Chains A and B, each alone.
Chain A
Amino acid sequence: MKKLLSKFGPFLGLVLVIGLFSLSGEIRDYFLSYANFKIILTQTVIVAIGALGMTLIIVSGGIDLSVGSVIALCSVVGALLIQQAWPLVAVVLTVIACGGLVGLLNGGAIAVLRVTPFIITLGMLGIARGVAKWLANNETVNYDASPLNGWMTTADPFGWALPAGAWVALGLAVITAVMLRHTVFGRHIFALGSNEATARLCGVATTRTKVLIYALAGCFFGLAGLMQLSRLRQGDPTVAVGVELDIIAAVIIGGASLNGGVGTVLGSMIGALIMAVLRNGSQQMGWPTYFQEIIIGAVIIAAVFLDRLRQAKRE
């Protein structure tokens, strides 16, 4: 019973949030419509893809604060490449590699310099943002048209089809979940977060695993940058400020522990949905943005507190 509860905790949270917004007669009809569901899914994509990478990092006992800046940097790089008339496939791969490179630098510095992830990625938050502004000449990077623009929208807003971005996020979520559960690399991520000293003692290549985790997560953040570019249809070096906090919140709400060793992809995805539903519902209620920020902050604290109660009961 307890196990079930801890497994479905985030899911219950999602149902609760949806239920609360449905109480309002004013917004219920539209809020619960399929069209709005599609909007929420689309709004979730960027945080969800980011949360996949962040899940790897947090489960391994680390943290990455540079995500927002990396998303902005990657969206600028993507826009510049489209300006240069690169083919779509090359743009996509290069932008993902760009995110991966930043992750590689993060992971390398953390593993080799042995400085805590908090500090390294805090530094990278500034560096990546600065490079983004530098590359973009401190203004938005515009381009005429690109097939990329269709990823985050569908031709018919009231049709059944989901935008490509949502499918990409869903597919990656499945792959990541399987990777975490069924591969040696995935289990080593858990071992690293659960007890790093033990992992090293048992012959896990901790340095290499760490670098790989941050690099792989960086690829996810690069992809999130592409989605950001698709949504805005221009490269904006000032975009996505503070998105890392939404992403971290989604992972924590999803049941991961900041101490490492605990976390699931499903939980993180539901956490990302909870964040999107909260924002979507608040907007429809006509609540001002500052009020949304307060609510989301309170939800994060409540989620972590509930998680602690859950853990305490288990012991």
Chain B
Amino acid sequence: MTRLRLTGIDKAFGATQALRGVSLAVAAGEVHALIGENGAGKSTLMKVLSGVVRPDAGTMELDGAPYLPSDTLAARRHGVAMIYQELSLAPHLSAWENIVLGSEPHRLGWLDKKEARARARGALARLAHGHLDLDRAAGEFSIAEQQVIEIARALLAEPRVLIMDEPTSSLTQADTERLFAVVRQLRAEGVSVIYISHFLEEVRQVADRFTVLKDGQTVGSGELAAVSQAEIVRLMVGREVRKLYPARTGRPGAVVLTLRAPSGPALELRAGEILGVAGLIGAGRTELLRAVFGLDKSALYVTTPARRWAEGVGFLSENRKEEGLMLPLSVAENTTLTKFSALARGGWLRTGGIEAVTADWIGRLGIKTRGPKQAVGELSGGNQQKVALARLLQHPAKILLLDEPTRGIDVGSKAQIYALIAQLAAEGRAVVLVSSYLPELFGLCDRIAVMRRGALVECRDRAAWTEPELMTVAVGAAA
């Protein structure tokens, strides 16, 4: 039975045609993967589905009845709920308050707390998370638990279609497994799940069918089991991505930096080397980079970001929206921020100068933007990340500390960023790459170090690791 059917959906924003005759069919009790590069139109399609924007043309049917929500609330009432990539909980409210928010049981405005808590408990129990403390403030839960709370909230509305946008982008392996169990549970209950993700391996584990979007059009759909990974990638990028990871050449030079965690061996970073840092979320990888860069106080490093920049050390934050970039400011300002004084004359910033420098980098990194003056916040995630990288590169930093440089960006952009990192190493720069995505560490690094509970545990040449071995060290299980 078809739960949701979209036919010939068009949507234009000004001169940009975001969707062109898109069709999508999702059965009841099916997990349907929606795949596509950033800018392919996935977000717009989901906005159409969840009532944020109205399509210009086309029809939508929900269980055979016409469906055209006027806003997100109307969509929810029809049973179409969305779990956003950026979690949307009220951090100060308790777990149960978040779950019943907007549909609180009450008598004449007087909150029925007993009933509310019972409903919250019931929804969490359906997700096998009945053990969570209902009275704790939502902001104090782990990211994975917050996500479960958000899904529980959506469940209260008895959704027919649940849309999940990149739900695992900030989860550890174990939490991802748990989330999959939740998704499978929902499927068993007959809920249709639209699952958006860049992680193709992951999509295969959880989804039944897929639809690929490219440039606002549906370019393929079918059973996941019937197609190979390479075919999906070909559909996505419209070309064969033969090799996601570039070949590495050159050999490491002199020691340029020593990495020290509060405990464990010190690691020497050499020019021309890419050193990977693996570990679970919360293992202290980000803290290590931040201490090295002087962002957080540390007994091991006495320095400041300004001094580090002057020494030629660059840092790419994992949190590009809140820390890495200034979203309302232009591409040019974001790119050249660290070199304002070099680009100014007597304190007078020459706009033309910084825009010319930036235009050069836009070309080199293939940043999709209307120009240096466009606000960074208007770009897609992958292009935002390229702007953040452009800042590091134009500086030019000799040592690059990269924290999750490919989080939440599409395969095409990933391949470009990998190529860029490899090229930088070939030019003799030293790179520290923190990543939760093992294939990219194995694909790119010369050596991989593992952190666990704040300590650097072990470091080996890439060839001396296997993925299972590395995971064993990361979780601290006996080998």
Q: State the A residues within 8 Å of B (CB).
A: 182-187, 190-191, 193-195, 197-204, 261-262, 314
B76 touches A261 (CB 8 A): no
Given contacts A198-B98, A202-B153, A261-B92, 4 further A-B contacts (CB under 8 A): A184-B109, A190-B92, A194-B90, A203-B76
Among A187, A190, A262, max chain B CB count under 10 A is at A187
B111 touches A182 (CB 8 A): yes
On chain A, the residues within 8 Å of B90 by CB distance are 190-191, 194-195, 198-199, 261
On chain A, the residues within 8 Å of B113 by CB distance are 182
| 8 Å CB contact of B92 from A186, A204, A262 | A262
| 8 Å CB contact of A198 from B73, B88, B109, B111 | B88
In the complex, the chain B residue whose C-beta lies closest to that of A198 is B88
What is the bound-complex CA distance between A262 and B91, given in angstroms?
Answer: 10
With A184-B106, A203-B102, A204-B101 in contact, do A198 and B89 touch (Cβ < 8 Å)? yes
A199 touches B92 (CB 8 A): no
B46 sits at the interface (CB 8 A): no
Q: Which of B108-125 contact A (CB under 8 A)?
A: 109-111, 113
| Listed A/B pairs (20) with beta-carbon separation below 8 Å | A183-B106, A184-B109, A184-B111, A186-B111, A187-B104, A190-B97, A191-B90, A193-B92, A194-B93, A198-B89, A198-B90, A200-B72, A201-B72, A201-B102, A202-B102, A202-B153, A203-B73, A203-B103, A204-B102, A261-B93
What is the bound-complex CA distance between A200 and B89, given in angstroms?
Answer: 11
- Residues of B within 8 A of A (CB-CB), count: 22
Q: Determine how close the nearest CB of chain A comes to the CB of B321; give it in whole angstroms.
A: 14
On chain A, the residues within 8 Å of B91 by CB distance are 194-195, 261
With A194-B91, A194-B92, A197-B88 in contact, do A187 and B102 touch (Cβ < 8 Å)? no
Among B101, B106, B110, B140, max chain A CB count under 10 A is at B101
Q: State the B residues within 8 Å of A (CB).
A: 72-73, 76, 88-93, 97-98, 101-104, 106, 109-111, 113, 140, 153
On chain A, the residues within 8 Å of B92 by CB distance are 190, 193-194, 261-262
With A202-B101, A202-B153, A204-B101 in contact, do A195 and B111 touch (Cβ < 8 Å)? no
In the complex, the chain B residue whose C-beta lies closest to that of A191 is B90
On chain A, the residues within 8 Å of B111 by CB distance are 182-184, 186-187
A191 touches B97 (CB 8 A): yes
On chain B, the residues within 8 Å of A203 by CB distance are 73, 76, 102-103
On chain A, the residues within 8 Å of B72 by CB distance are 200-201
In the complex, the chain B residue whose C-beta lies closest to that of A178 is B110
B97 touches A187 (CB 8 A): yes
| 8 Å CB contact of B110 from A183, A202, A262 | A183
Among B92, B103, B140, B153, max chain A CB count under 10 A is at B92
